[in-house]
Amino acid sequence: MFNGKGRGRTLLSLALVSVGLVAQDAEAQFKKQCMSCHTVGAGAKVGPDLKGLAERRTKDWATGFMMAPGSYLDRGDATATELLKAANGVKMPDLGITAGEAEAIWKLVDDATKAGKVIGSAGIARPVTPADIANGRLLFEGRKHFAKGAPACLSCHSASSAGFAGGGSLGPDLTAVSGKMGKGLASAIETPAFPTMQNVFAKAPLTAEEAFQVAAFLGSVSKEPPAKKDIMLPIVGLIGLVGGLQISRIVARRRFKGVRSQLKPKA
Binding site for another protein (CB under 8 A): 96, 141-143, 145, 151-152, 154-156, 163-170, 195-196, 199-200, 232-234, 236-238, 240-241, 244, 248, 252, 255, 258-259, 262-263, 265
Instruction: Between 41 and 171, name the residue whose CB sits nearer to another protein.
Output: 171
List of long-range contacts for 64-68, beta carbons under 8 Å, 24+ apart: 64/102, 66/95, 66/97, 66/101, 66/102, 66/105, 66/106, 67/97, 67/98, 67/99, 67/102, 68/94
DSSP secondary structure code for residue 231 in this structure: -
Helix (H, G, I), strand (E, B) or coil at 40: strand
User: In the complex, what is the shortest distance from the CB of residue 100 to another protein, in angstroms, rounded to a whole number?
Assistant: 15
Q: How far apart are CA 209 and CA 196, in angstroms?
A: 23
Minimal distance, residue 85 CB to another protein, in Å:
25
Q: Which residues of 23-59 are buried (b: 16+ CB within 10 A; e: fewer)?
A: eeebbebbebbbbbbbbbbbebbbbbbbbebeeebee
CB of 173 to another protein, least distance (A): 12
Smallest gap from residue 59 Cβ to another protein (A):
24
Taking the complex as a whole, the smallest distance from the CB of residue 40 to another protein amounts, in Å, to 26
Let me know: does 205 contact 150? Beta carbons within 8 Å.
Answer: yes
Least distance from another protein to the Cβ atom of residue 47, Å: 20
90 three-state secondary structure: coil
The identity of residue 167, as a single letter, is G
Query: Rounded to an integer, what distance in angstroms lies between the CA atom of residue 47 and that of residue 219?
Result: 19
